Amino acid sequence: MCAALSSGCVRAAAGAAARNGEREDAGEDTNERPVEPSTRPSAVFTLNGQPFCFAGTNNYYMTYKPREMADDVLAAAKAMGLRVVRLWAFLDRGSLDGTTRNADRPGDKDGVYFQYWDPLKKAPAYNDGPTGLEHLDYVLDRARALDLKVVLVLTNNWKDFGGMDQYLLWYGLPRHEQFYTEAPVREAYKSWAAHLVLRKNTRSGVLYRDDPTIFAWELANEPRCTSSDEFGPPENCRPATVTEWAAEMSSYVKSIDRNHLVSVGDEGFFAGGRAPRYDGADGVDHAALLELPHVDFGTFHLYPETWGQPIRWASHWIEDHVEAARAARKPTLLEEYGVMARRDARGGIVDDARRRRAYARWGEVVRLRGGDGGLFWMLAGVDPQPDARAGRYPDYDHFALYANDAAAELVQGFAASMAADAQACRVFARTTTVALSKSPFVGTAAPP
């Protein structure tokens, strides 16, 4: 998601939601045909010798907020039957002395940061202690105790939490696409990936590389050729620019960690068509990314409101990605999706009907047409800080879902149905006789 603490993103999203909400309330047809189960085989995730189909969620704040807030989100995920949680494994800032500025002010989050610029060494440095990566250690250890899997995202296309824009500020580069092309930045990114892969968890004593709690490493959240206005429009970026970067980085991560899957984290934009999200305008070619040998599965996101699309558009978007993954013989994951909730001043639900209708439909399309999993954006919970509304973490972007929202029942039902009878796993089990690895690490398998 265009990150949840960005006020500009929230304003744009809210405006789009209002416009689309007016269309739906005025009678837009969202009654689509019943979803017919697909009998065509799909590749699947595997776990402990079985096909693994699942529902999950996202959360960005667990790695810097108090532990009780992380505990609450993870416990809620477990209670809802969610199996996978995706979170940020980055929190980047400028130099501590202020000579190199922060992409995302003030640089830290509640005093926590993971990477910072060392002006003496002229290179990024790492905060491994209690105000840094020990927070990530804690979340991984608690997830392990609850038998949850965690997707770790290595950087952000957007300036929130630093991300690619912070790398550009470190190295004095003026254009966003230079994150993908300039050698010093690429080497700094590799160093960060290696630092995490080879890190020993201070709570469990296990190297991240050896921890089956980790579902996958994700190269970036929503990589594109464009980001904030500060870095201007791209000058030399083609879809091949991002694809070539992903090829290099996925190969590198695999060279230092053979245990875990690797994904790109792209939004699923196609290239080669004419319609928006299919025309390569953002410098992303989802089909080409799927073909990379060290990318293990596809990812795609779904926000029709903020993309200027009607809710019913989403069914085709999901099916197109299932088909692309079938062609590549790899699993695919709807790893972010959301419809905005309308809330009152205290954060209570005013109207959740659109969200419930959409989530019910999208879950059925994923489950019956051959999708392998879906992670909604995002699960939020308690916040003991004095300025929190009703003791809950604020719904900054209006996509948050709390355990007592009406839509939570749908998500819980989706989790149960994906685990019990997702068509991808059912067809795979029925048509494949090869024994799967009993590894506790998540893997993938293609049908014969």
CA 374 – CA 401 distance, rounded (Å): 15
pLDDT of residue 23: 40
pLDDT of residue 2: 61
User: Is the residue at 25 inside a domain?
Assistant: no
User: Is the residue at 376 inside a domain?
Assistant: yes
| Domain residue limits at 338 | 43-443
User: Is the residue at 308 inside a domain?
Assistant: yes
User: Is the residue at 15 inside a domain?
Assistant: no
- Of the candidates 284, 281, 384, the one whose C-alpha atom is nearest the C-alpha of residue 324 is 284
235 a catalytic residue: no
pLDDT of residue 233: 83
Running DSSP on this structure, what letter comes out for residue 341? Answer: P
User: Is the residue at 219 inside a domain?
Assistant: yes
pLDDT of residue 381: 96
Residue 201 maps to which CATH number?
3.20.20.80
Total number of domains in the chain: 1
CA 447 – CA 433 distance, rounded (Å): 10
Asked whether the beta carbons of 231 and 168 are under 8 A apart, the reply is yes
- Annotated catalytic residue, options 24, 218, 267, 336: 336
Q: What is the largest CA-CA distance in the chain?
A: 63
- Annotated catalytic residue, options 24, 222, 267, 364: 222
pLDDT of residue 31: 62
CA 90 – CA 201 distance, rounded (Å): 16
User: Is the residue at 31 inside a domain?
Assistant: no
CA 434 – CA 448 distance, rounded (Å): 9
pLDDT of residue 29: 45
Amino acid identity of residue 249, one-letter, is: M
pLDDT along the chain (448 residues), means of 10: 47 39 42 90 98 98 98 98 98 98 97 98 98 98 98 98 98 96 98 98 98 99 92 88 98 98 98 95 96 98 96 97 98 97 83 93 98 98 83 93 92 98 97 93 96
User: Is the residue at 290 inside a domain?
Assistant: yes
User: How big is the chain by its Cα radius of gyration, in Å?
Assistant: 21
305 a catalytic residue: no
Tokens of 390: 């009703």
- Confidence (pTM): 0.94
